[in-house]
Structure 1
């Protein structure tokens, strides 16, 4: 990489569920419309990330911990939306491709359609994708999806074209509460740790970071989150692991088995040759 690695820090504690990020993403990247039909799943009309949903705002309604329905204000930041007259609260989170440090999709792509950019992000080249779909099951987060029209895969590019022009991604630009923050990844990790400390001091002990640790199963994410509940509540795997981590060992064993097989065949032919003499 020739540039400093950049990424997203999504602070779900200040997400208001406005979906400005979803709209900005679709408008800038000319993504086909979807999620226009009522699903019966509260306001979550898009339901999940996919080939035509590169940003997905999740709405989770749940009982508030210890009767708390709204987060306290910290340094002027608004709390998560809530109704003071009930014992329920909304958790909202804008999900996106994680741009993994160890990206399994890169490992399995046979055409080089998926590549690591100079900014440390992972991008699909639409004109090279052959629609094989190998990357779909390889992704530990279930982010990548094929479009049914032609089988090619699509996902967040972190607005690669905007990064090249020195601009921030459209979703971060449009976010009115700075729930989606963009910048150098190391700086974002430091900022996120301070935000967690602020929330703990303000009486929100459940606040924690997800995907920030370089020692986790994918080597840390280029897009990580501050969550207010367990990852699975938000539809995220609790312990994601790069699905291709065992490939080197598998190839090694396969090579050893192939050599042993060839050796056995050679011995058999030699034995047959001796009997025919």
Structure 2
């Protein structure tokens, strides 16, 4: 199971953020407008499991037949001087990677993969080591300052077990956040991209949907209207523990070599 987030219909209402906090009892953040932005949460973290980004982009006005710039502005796009501005809004969340590095490095089993193929942190098992924090290629996981344990989106694991959809998807008024079986969501997303291309939105693209990417595909993927970097997403994420098995083999080989050398030196000394 997973999420498909269609950013082209996100209105930035932050209903998903509120629903997530209320259902999962996630602590509130301090109000911070971060300068001139409506984005008062800033990024995903231990106390922000859903983050709605507000990205303001200057857009040159369209050319007119009689001059270099048109005198009208598209509906919904504010104009400042001779420059139009568009807002890209996107509700970000843990990607629930197919190949999740956080699972590889957790020493206590606090992180586990559920029967829904999602990745969950068991707070009562987490020892606060923090290994999962740098292991995440998306920078999603964070330790909570008050108690030192790691927290992130659980895709409302308790709701899934009761046959309900996650709180964020339930609260989304525009169906920007869609929940369901990943194969079905990927087919729906591909159709949506084709529709947008036909409607004159060539920049529409999918992110995190490809099972052959560096993390084996994401359990939460997105339809974007610009490059991933614009949304603060890595363009080519890879599982950070991809070389872990080889490292352990080399370490084991080195340990055996040292043990053999010690044994030989001991025999030689006799």
Q: Does 1:214 align with 2:218?
A: no
Q: Does 1:240 align with 2:240?
A: no
Q: Does 1:43 align with 2:33?
A: no
Which of 11, 15, 28 is the aligned partner of 1:20?
15
Match in the other structure for 1:268: 265
CA–CA distance in 2 between the matches of 1:245 and 1:67?
Answer: 46
CA–CA distance in 2 between the matches of 1:17 and 1:87?
Answer: 19
8 Å contact from structure 1 (residues 15, 80) kept in 2? no
Match in the other structure for 1:117: 114
SS at match of 1:87: strand
The CA deviation at 1:37 is 2.6
CA–CA distance in 2 between the matches of 1:257 and 1:123?
Answer: 35
User: For 1:137-173, what per-residue CA distance to the aligned partner results, in whole angstroms no more than 9, with x for missing partners?
Assistant: 0000000000111100111000011101110000001
8 Å contact from structure 2 (residues 77, 84) kept in 1? no
8 Å contact from structure 1 (residues 218, 242) kept in 2? yes
CA–CA distance in 1 between the matches of 2:172 and 2:131?
Answer: 33
Q: Does 1:161 align with 2:158?
A: yes
Number of matched pairs: 258
Match in the other structure for 2:148: 151
Provide TM-score, normalisation by structure 1: 0.90
Q: Which contiguous aligned blocks of 4+ residues in structure 1 show a shift greater than 4 angstroms? A: none
CA–CA distance in 1 between the matches of 2:175 and 2:102?
Answer: 29
User: For 1:175-202, what per-residue CA distance to the aligned partner results, in whole angstroms no more than 9, with x for missing partners?
Assistant: 0111000000100000000111111111
Provide TM-score, normalisation by structure 2: 0.92
CA–CA distance in 1 between the matches of 2:59 and 2:203?
Answer: 12
Q: Following superposition of structure 1 onto structure 2, how do residues 156-195 of structure 1 map, counting pairs within 5 Å?
A: 156-195=153-192
What residue ranges of structure 1 are gaps of 5+ in the alignment? 1-5, 69-78
Match in the other structure for 1:72: none
